[in-house]
Structure 1
Amino acid sequence: MALLPTEKRKPKQRLEDYSILLYGTWKIGKSTFCSQMDNPLFLATEPGLEALEVYEVKIPDWKTFLNVCAEIQQGGHPFKTIVIDTVDNLWKACSEYVRNKLGIMHESDLVYGKGWAMVRDEFFRVLRKLALLPYGLVMTSHVDLIEVKTRTSTITKAVPTIPKTGREIILGWVDMILYAETIVTDDGEVRIIRTKPSENWEAGDRTKRLPPVVPLDFEAFKNAFYGKHQTETINPNKE
């Protein structure tokens, strides 16, 4: 049987075909944003959904996550978007699972970084399978402000709060990295999503459909993605 393709694959057209990381400050509205996506199922690794009417599965540990993923893969359910809220705690659950399996207290207890590598491999193995399913995949994270040294100065950069090893994995394979923050405009404070990279924050959009700044509003975001109409222009006083 021939395995090589005979024609080019066309770019994906649906928002649900892409994997997304949405991160930002506590209570800025990340979960509310995700709740408006197409038939979402929340895999909740921490409290915070009490004010929303959503379908939710609580994920206290990695084994529960594996079982839920297996059930999602079987199909026969109405859900079209899987929301991991938050991926920070999911990484911790994976780390605890691997450490218990190895009988160690910390990843550094194994030489040559083997502990960290085994957590990374287990995490990526399962998340990759979930991302390949025919559902949208959205992960939320909180924000951390870190100092980054350049050749001429030290700058403050906003990054997801996932530990560096997990952060590098996720940033490398998701299609959209969305940074939600509150900015000051001439009209007052506005909640926005940044979609383009900067030395001051992690962001990115492989689809190249989104403007650099979108209101933190799902309808505005969806319209920007599908190009239905021009989204609200936001002119922050500081970039």
Structure 2
Amino acid sequence: MLNVTSGIIARPVKCCVYGVEGIGKSTFASQFPDPLFFDLDGGTSRLDVKRVTDIQSWPQLMQSIEEVWKNLGTCRTLVIDTADAAERLCIGYLCGKHEKKGIEDFSYGSGYAYLVEEFARFLLSLETCVTQGVNVVILAHAILKTITLPEEMGQYDHWELKLSTKTTNKVAPLVKEWADMLLFANYETMLVEDDKSKKKKAMGGRRMMWTSHTTFADAKNRFGLPDKLPFEYAQIAKCIPNGAAPKPVPEPAPAAKQEPEPPKPVTPAALAPKKPAPQTKHEALLGKVRALMAQAEMPERTVTESIAKKGYFPKDMPIDEYPDDFIEGVLIGAWDQIVKFIEDERIPF
């Protein structure tokens, strides 16, 4: 039978942000929930963020991504900074593997076919992060290209992802198809006419982002965003699960001196038993897990040891300290597999 469902499914977001140099792409990504930067370009030194800076090869990059989705709780957003740097690592790996000096040395354009195949594996690994509850943001630089229309109808300029430009290379289309949200960031310059000289001069330079395809840039989104917005994370925060930008905590006002109040008379209502506080999501999830353990007559220690064997968390870490996403998606969602592992001494989840 078909397992038909309906309604909107909340899930982490796959986002690609590209734009001109220095517009603030890394700063924008740093406002996603609990980000971890794979800083391949060395562009986060002035940001107070978690980062990995020692990724020097393509296999190391792939292994690092795998460590993120195998070790849940490392971060809630993985940021690849940048796609062009990742592509360079991929090309270097392929040339070394096939003993070529450059990607053009492969015969009949086969080097680009290998490149697309490897980059597809890279995006698939990032997709695994998403299925494990982690947002993924890919940053990229932009390059302006001239598009020539057929039959000599004319030319126009178009901003694109700064990736290899050969027609046989489909890396950029792969990234654009993969993303739920493709954002193009640029400065919007206004032309104002001088009253005296009647000449137009450039004014402004606001940072803006485009969320839908235009004639001058590729962009898209699956969230019904306006076509153009200020380049600020707050404009898309509603699209990111638990992604509201943190609000600054106001300084507490100095407490005014007050005379002590006289004791209030005790009323019958004050003596009545208080209603228990409503359960938090974490408490509710723990209740479900413990109900499953009781039903299967499974001690908590046995469960934590099985989780430790897979390498998710230390065996002495109690279930109470596990993140909600892991409890809901693995302990509850894959309970049958956990029981089978404990019985067969293996973990297939």
Same fold (TM over 0.5): yes
| 1:28 counterpart letter in structure 2 | I
CA contact (8 A) 1:62 1:93 kept: yes
Tell me, yes or no, if structure 1 residue 8 matches structure 2 residue 8: no
Identity of aligned residues (%): 25
Q: 2:232 aligns with which of 208, 217, 220?
A: 217
User: How do residues 10-159 of structure 1 correspond to structure 2 at under 5 angstroms?
Assistant: 10-14=7-11, 17-58=12-53, 59-133=55-129, 134-151=133-150, 152-159=153-160
CA contact (8 A) 2:32 2:77 kept: yes
Q: 1:114 to 1:42 in 2, by over 3 A?
A: same
- Aligned to 2:173, what secondary structure does the other structure show? helix
- Counterparts of 1:211 and 1:153, CA distance in 2: 30
Residue 118 of structure 1: how far off its partner (Å): 1.1
Tell me, yes or no, if structure 1 residue 188 matches structure 2 residue 201: no
CA contact (8 A) 2:26 2:44 kept: yes
| Pair member with larger Rg | 2
- Aligned to 1:49, what secondary structure does the other structure show? coil
What are the superposed Cα offsets for residues 100-127 of structure 1, whole Å, 9 maximum, x if unpaired? 0111112232323222111211111122
- Aligned to 1:52, what secondary structure does the other structure show? coil
- Counterparts of 2:237 and 2:72, CA distance in 1: 26
> What RMSD, in angstroms, separates the aligned Cα atoms of the two structures?
2.0
Gaps of 5+ in 2: 193-202, 242-349
Aligned residues: 220
- Counterparts of 1:36 and 1:176, CA distance in 2: 16
- Counterparts of 2:2 and 2:37, CA distance in 1: 36
Residue 224 of structure 1: how far off its partner (Å): 7.0
Gaps of 5+ in 1: 227-239
- Counterparts of 1:9 and 1:99, CA distance in 2: 47
- Higher relative contact order, structure no. (Cα contacts within 8 Å, ≥ 6 residues apart): 1
CA contact (8 A) 2:223 2:239 kept: no
Deviates more, 1:112-121 or 1:31-40: 112-121
Residue 173 of structure 1: how far off its partner (Å): 1.9
| 1:27 counterpart letter in structure 2 | G
Q: Using structure 2 for the length normalisation, give the TM-score.
A: 0.59
Residue 163 of structure 1: how far off its partner (Å): 1.4
Residue 55 of structure 1: how far off its partner (Å): 0.4
| 2:14 counterpart letter in structure 1 | S
- Counterparts of 2:239 and 2:58, CA distance in 1: 35
CA contact (8 A) 2:123 2:178 kept: no
CA contact (8 A) 2:69 2:128 kept: no
Greater fraction strand: 1
| 2:220 counterpart letter in structure 1 | G
The answer for the alignment partner of 2:280 in structure 1 is none
- Aligned to 1:147, what secondary structure does the other structure show? strand
Residue 99 of structure 1: how far off its partner (Å): 1.2
Residue 215 of structure 1: how far off its partner (Å): 1.0
- Aligned to 1:90, what secondary structure does the other structure show? helix
The answer for the alignment partner of 1:232 in structure 2 is none
What are the superposed Cα offsets for residues 50-96 of structure 1, whole Å, 9 maximum, x if unpaired? 11000000222212212211211212434011100011010010111
Runs of 4+ in 1 over 6 A off after TM superposition: none
